[in-house]
Structure 1
Amino acid sequence: MKTASQILMLMAVISFMSCGQLHVVTLYVDTSQVEKSNTDQYAHFGQPKGISNKDFTIYVRKGDRVIWNAVSTSNSADVVNITSIINKSGVDKQNKPFVNFFKAKYSNPDYTMSQSSTRDIKGIVRRAIKKGKPGDIQKYSLTFTINDMKKEIEVDPKMQMFY
């Protein structure tokens, strides 16, 4: 299963290389410790200490492509699946409304049939940046599950358009 996921990621990277810049955003999850109440402590994007998940920002331009995936840092047998990315409304620190860089408010994960079985490889979300102006910020929530458990855990990073 791990090899199939790596092949899927490689295919996604190759397919996106032709348009804009590719951003791969990996969520690292300590699956042995993470709970809804301690997400910031046990799930992160590899950002430097002192930058919270809510302040983690990727900088994009129109036409760029973004791939979100997730991995366990504590048990390689655990499967972390991104279940949704949902646009959030509100305003930034300068009281400017958040902008949705995509066409849809809600992004489902991409499901691709594994070549070696009839099981789906899931938990990776791929999207292209469709709209926005320099300085615009998109706030979104990313939800994930561990080993297909029913409870979803949420983190809330953001994206900002380059100037």
Structure 2
Amino acid sequence: MESRRKRSRSQRLKWGCYILLLVVCTVLQTMPGLFQFGAAKPLWLLPLCLAVSAAEGEFAGAIFGAVCGLMWDYTAGRTVGMLALELMILCFGVSVVVQLYLKDTPSNFVLLAVTCALLVLSADWLFFYYMPGYAGAVERFLWVVLPSALMTAPGSWLLHRAVQRISTEFKIDNGVV
């Protein structure tokens, strides 16, 4: 059984590591030309917030997802709050699905992350390219949205491993067996 001070310090260190990962993922996602294949780039913030929500629970995961979405909105120069709302809902859903239905394995997480990336990118494509009637919207879906979702898989695996390591290192011992 740990003291209250030690538990509080452990929680601050854990969330400090998550915030550090948030900053690193933001830099990786917004760096021009890094890991770019044509016009497609992998997503880094989405798998991070999904991994944190799978490891920490639905409430903490939803809040962290909203923070990641606000960071993504801010760095992309978009309408503030749209991705925050999407990521908050996705993180809550992924946390519930992982707790109730799926084992938290790297392969399951990569499948969830790629599916969520396809969902977020498809919604973005639908509202910002297809509905306004831009020419070449279908080509953009085929050559940007689909490859970007697939390119998210390797980073998802790495982020899942990192978040699992952080979560287990700073686990609270409450004395319950």
| TM-score calculated relative to the size of structure 2 | 0.27
Considering only CA atoms, is the larger Rg found in Structure 1 or Structure 2? Answer: 2
Which has the bigger relative contact order, CA under 8 A and spacing at least 6?
Answer: 2
Larger helix proportion of the pair? 2
TM-score (norm 1): 0.28
